[in-house]
Amino acid sequence: MLRRRFKLRSIIICLVIIVVAISLFITDVLVSNTISDQIMDDQEEKALTVARIVAESETVQQSLAEETPENIQVFANDIRSTSGVLFIVVMDMNGIRYSHPNADLVGLPFEGEDEANALMGQEYSSISKGTLETSLRSFTPVMSEDNEQLGAVAVGISLENVEQTLDESHKNLIIGSLFGIITGIIGALLIANYIKKILYGLEPFTIAKTFEERNTMLQSVREGIIAVDKDARITLVNKSGLQLFAKAGLKNDPIGMEITEYMPRNGLEEVLQTGNSELDSELTINGMSFVVNRTPLIVDNQIIGAISTFRDKTEVNEMAKQLSGVKLYAEALRSQSHEVMNKFHVILGLVRNRSYEELSHYIRELVDHKNNEIGIVTRNIKDPVLAGFLIGKLSYARENGITLNIINETDIPSPKSSDTTHELITILGNLIDNVIEALTVSKSNQIDVKLSYDQGSLKLQVEDTGPGIKRQHLAHIFEKGFSTKGKNRGYGLFLVKNSMDKLGGNFTVDSFQGEGTVFTMDIPYEIEVNGID
């Protein structure tokens, strides 16, 4: 059974309403109690104040001393009307009333049974019911100038008035609370919409799922990945990256470090500054070479960080070798298949014409030529990969109407490293392809490739009878992208120079317009043990 997932907006609104409601309820309870106590204190203070005013009145003191209640009744009723209290009762030391709102009760004993302490000189308040309703009563003694007690004054305030005041205060609190809840709901809606906008309308469970998927994806790729924020501090390194960097001798826990502290000359700081990507660059860390891509992370036209991928160059080289081998093999098969089809067409024509003697002579020439051509290459070049490559180029040149001569001045032993074979194929392949393309528009169409080995040095020479290279172009032919044949060209000789630099060789170029060009290369060449037969 799947758990129901609530939307972020619903969660925020419910949470805000609950928090606001609980807060307002607690506030209402606390404030109500405080206001209730305050109102009671205020009413009690009011009653005591009125009682003191009456008790200190000369009229009251004199009337009690002379036992003439007539003047007190009038005076007390005037004060009661002015102050708004329920009653003012002045009594003598025997508890006999000298004043009361009901004139018929004047002269009768005070009722309520809470006046005894007042007649003993104490000042206090109490809640009791007498001839009127239940009220808040405040008592104060009446003293003469000689400090002799003459009687007491009781002032009562209706509890109904107190409760009414409390109800009005509580009503105001409830209105304020409702306003607070409404304000909280509106605020919750605004906050929920704002947060959802920031999160691009995604719900939390969707964000969590996306984060898990992204993290799994980053950890599963073979390339090393490292990301930095806008301050060039490392925020992410995947498992493959940690493994690659560990091989290069870097620390295992780089999160939070500045990228320059962890990996000097990394190139990410330049990407953060310029906002330009750098693709397929080469980076060497402690002698280990990587193929690196660097890209800025841009959100709302602001650079918030950068990310870089790392691939061990050894793996890239191995893949390139495999691809090159497949390509060369496919080209050789294609060239040879075209060549064979042409030969079959000749044979078919001779058969149909019943020219059997010419057919026999033609087939004999084909067999002798093929055996001689392949035999020369395989007999003198001991590296089968390089030999197969040159045999493929012979067929490719013949297909384009070009005469390609492979001249082995000495036996060529197999190299100690397969990397050397890969670079030699890059050098010879690009030179031969360039010449074949140039000779297709030339009257003379011959290429001579000479190879010789002598005491750790391999000498290569590629000579053609093409149109030659203009003198003003000779200084630029090895630059990346330079070409006189149009756009998106100019990579062949650039790759030749890179391969020569990797092998540590040197070369010269002699070119004469209308006569041809000669590329001469001298390359250090370590051979396998027993590399020469």
pLDDT in tens, 471-507: 777 777 777 767 766 555 666 788 888 888 888 888 8
Q: Which of 164, 181, 196 is the last residue of a domain?
A: 164
Strand partners, 523: 458
**Residue 301 and residue 360 in one domain:** no
Q: Give, to the nearest 10 degrees, the angle between helix 384-399 and helix 356-380.
A: 140
Q: Domain containing 246 — which CATH number?
A: 3.30.450.20
**Residue 100 and residue 239 in one domain:** no
Residue 306 lies in a domain: yes
What whole-number distance in Å separates Cα of residue 365 and Cα of residue 361?
A: 6
pLDDT value of residue 232: 87
Strand partners, 129: 134
**Residue 393 and residue 510 in one domain:** yes
What whole-number distance in Å separates Cα of residue 363 and Cα of residue 267?
A: 63
Residue 337 lies in a domain: no
pLDDT value of residue 330: 55
Give the pLDDT band (50/70/90) at residue 459. very high
What whole-number distance in Å separates Cα of residue 503 and Cα of residue 419?
A: 9
- Pick the range with the lowest mean pLDDT from 62-66, 160-164, 232-236: 160-164
Residue 260 lies in a domain: yes
pLDDT value of residue 532: 44
**Residue 394 and residue 455 in one domain:** yes
**Residue 369 and residue 255 in one domain:** no
What whole-number distance in Å separates Cα of residue 356 and Cα of residue 288?
A: 65
**Residue 271 and residue 404 in one domain:** no
**Residue 38 and residue 97 in one domain:** yes
Residue 174 lies in a domain: no
pLDDT in tens, 418-446: 788 888 888 888 888 888 887 776 677 88
Q: 274 lies in which domain range? A: 224-316
Residue 185 lies in a domain: no
Residue 263 lies in a domain: yes
Number of domains in the chain: 3
**Residue 363 and residue 512 in one domain:** yes
pLDDT value of residue 339: 58
pLDDT value of residue 2: 43
**Residue 304 and residue 438 in one domain:** no
Give the distance, in angstroms, between the CA of residue 333 and the centroid of all CA atoms in the same chain: 50
pLDDT in tens, 360-410: 666 666 655 554 556 667 778 888 888 878 877 877 777 777 888 888 888
pLDDT value of residue 529: 66
Residue 2 lies in a domain: no
pLDDT value of residue 302: 86
Which pair of structure tokens corresponds to residue 471? 């003198």
**Residue 310 and residue 417 in one domain:** no
* Res. 67: pLDDT tops 60: yes
